[in-house]
Amino acid sequence: MAVLPFTSMGGGSRHERFTDGIVEDVIMALSRFKSLFVIARNSSFEYKGRTINIKQVGRELGVRYVVEGGVRKTGEKLRVSVQLVDAESGYQLWSERYDRELEDVFDVQDEIVRAIVSVLPGRMEDAGRDIAVRKPTSNMTAYDLVLLGNEQWRRLEKSALAQARERFRAAVTLDPNYARAHANIAWTIVCEAFLEVSTGMTLDDALREIETALDLDENDAWFHGVFAQVLFLRGEDERAELHFDRALQLNPNDADVAAVFANILVYWGRWREALLWIGTAKRLNPFPPNLYHWYHALALYSGRRYREAIAALKQARTFHCWSHGLLAACHARLGMRKEARSALNTFVRERRLELRQNGEPAPADDLDLARNRADRYRRAGDRKHFIDGLRKAGLV
């Protein structure tokens, strides 16, 4: 990709230097992402002050994606507009506008850079994944395989996770030093553990893969985030928190790490901290996946903030069976018996169906549907609070 000089609209030479500084910092920040190929400043600045054609720029620089934008100064206010364009089609993939104060230009610059960097990699991966899906499997590179695997694991279903893992393994076969592929194998196992799916894979398998990934690249925030979750599942909570801290130090703008850290904090009985981190995750990712809403609601439930938990759950586009379970518990805690019973019936029906589809044995009674999930809580009082909410809704 290439980041072109932003248009400087007003403010004279000082403002123009500030505008150029924004672009230079964006280039340097994006260059730290090893999955991206970023054209150096000297080449991209050849286009400064010129009327450009995005498709031509793409051909001349040999890039697929172009970032362009503009900065306007009005009094003590700055408006920065940024867009990501597919250079082959000319289609705008992403755009954003940032309105900020001018008084502390360096802090403003850093904030804009962090915001852009936190969004662009994910957006570019989405675009690349769409391209990869259209390619024949026999012609895929290791990168294509990882993108396809990512498309599959996001469905969070037993068969999809298994298929994703095979994609990642194939990528490792093509490139044994592909750290992301190793980490993603571990991530599928983590997902299966949290979904309570039996697949024959163990946490030892996950540990081996994520340790390989970290040996290859110890400075990837997401790798440390995955490692932290493996450690949590193994009951190594102190080490898990160390690696969450490391992940967030490496990239404080990684919304997914912030979100999963929030989830684990709930199970550690630290729901107030969890609310702070899920709030951060939602600010970094304004259109979050449904899991973010679940993490948010779970923290609110632990804080006895049941109405807010219901509101958080209802932000989700679709409901998993556990969403219905938590809704049942929240309604029961609020004395809304009819709503609690309705949600509980849906939870029991969908959870039993999920177990059957995954080839899992049926529980002896409905209460067993929730016991494994409750066991994630480290404190007895939290486990009791979780189970008692479902009991109040009628789970027996």
Topology alike, domains 2-118 and 135-248: no
Q: Which of 1, 104, 94 is nearest to 44 (CA)?
A: 1
**Cβ–Cβ under 8 Å, residues 28 and 90:** no
**Cβ–Cβ under 8 Å, residues 108 and 116:** no
Compute and round to an integer the Cα radius of gyration of the chain.
23
Beta pairing partners, 218? none
CA atoms within 13 A on the CB side of 381: 7
The domain locations on the chain are 2-118, 135-248
**Cβ–Cβ under 8 Å, residues 228 and 247:** yes
Tell me the CATH number for domain 2-118.
3.40.50.10610
**Cβ–Cβ under 8 Å, residues 71 and 16:** no
Reading the block at residue 145, the tokens are 């395989």
pLDDT at 134: 42
How many other CB atoms are found less than 10 A from the CB of residue 50?
10
Rounded CA separation 304/375 (Å): 19
Rounded CA separation 296/299 (Å): 5
Q: Which of 327, 292, 321 is nearest to 309 (CA)?
A: 327
Reading the block at residue 304, the tokens are 């006895």
**Cβ–Cβ under 8 Å, residues 174 and 209:** no
pLDDT at 289: 83
Q: How many residues does the chain have?
A: 396
User: What one-character-per-residue DSSP string does 22-90 give?
Assistant: HHHHHHHHHHT-TT-----HHHHGGGTTS---HHHHHHHHT-SEEEEEEEEEETTEEEEEEEEEETTT-
Q: What pLDDT tens digit does each residue of the chain (396 aa) get? A: 788 999 888 766 657 766 777 787 777 677 666 566 777 776 788 788 888 899 999 888 888 889 998 888 776 777 888 888 888 888 887 788 888 776 655 566 666 666 666 655 555 555 554 444 444 333 246 777 887 788 788 787 888 999 999 999 999 998 888 898 999 999 999 999 988 888 888 999 999 999 999 999 888 888 999 999 999 999 999 999 999 999 988 877 677 888 999 999 999 999 999 999 999 888 777 678 889 999 999 999 999 999 999 999 999 988 888 999 999 999 999 999 999 999 999 999 998 988 888 788 888 888 888 888 899 999 999 999 999 999 999 998
Burial 79-116 (b: 16+ CB within 10 A, else e): ebbbebbbbeeeeebbebebebeeeebeebbeebbbbb
Q: Which homologous superfamily does the CATH classification assign to the domain defined by 135-248?
A: Tetratricopeptide repeat domain (1.25.40.10)
Reading the block at residue 2, the tokens are 């290439």
Residues 6+ apart with CB under 8 A from 379: 269
Backbone angles phi, psi at 86, to 5 degrees: -75, 115
**Cβ–Cβ under 8 Å, residues 98 and 109:** no
Q: What residue type is assigned to position 288 of the chain?
A: P
User: Counting Cβ atoms within 10 Å, is residue 309 exposed (0-12), middle (13-18) or buried (19+)?
Assistant: buried
Reading the block at residue 255, the tokens are 């919304």
Reading the block at residue 93, the tokens are 């993939």
Q: Which of 44, 45, 84 is nearest to 62 (CA)?
A: 44
pLDDT at 362: 80
User: Counting Cβ atoms within 10 Å, is residue 376 exposed (0-12), middle (13-18) or buried (19+)?
Assistant: middle
**Cβ–Cβ under 8 Å, residues 247 and 254:** yes
pLDDT at 135: 42
User: What one-character-per-residue DSSP string does 145-201 give?
Assistant: HHHHHHHHHTT--HHHHHHHHHHHHHHHHH-TT-HHHHHHHHHHHHHHHHTT---S-
Backbone angles phi, psi at 280, to 5 degrees: -60, -45
User: Counting Cβ atoms within 10 Å, is residue 48 exposed (0-12), middle (13-18) or buried (19+)?
Assistant: middle
Q: Which residue do the tokens 């494994």 mark? A: 372
Residues 6+ apart with CB under 8 A from 7: 19, 69, 70, 71
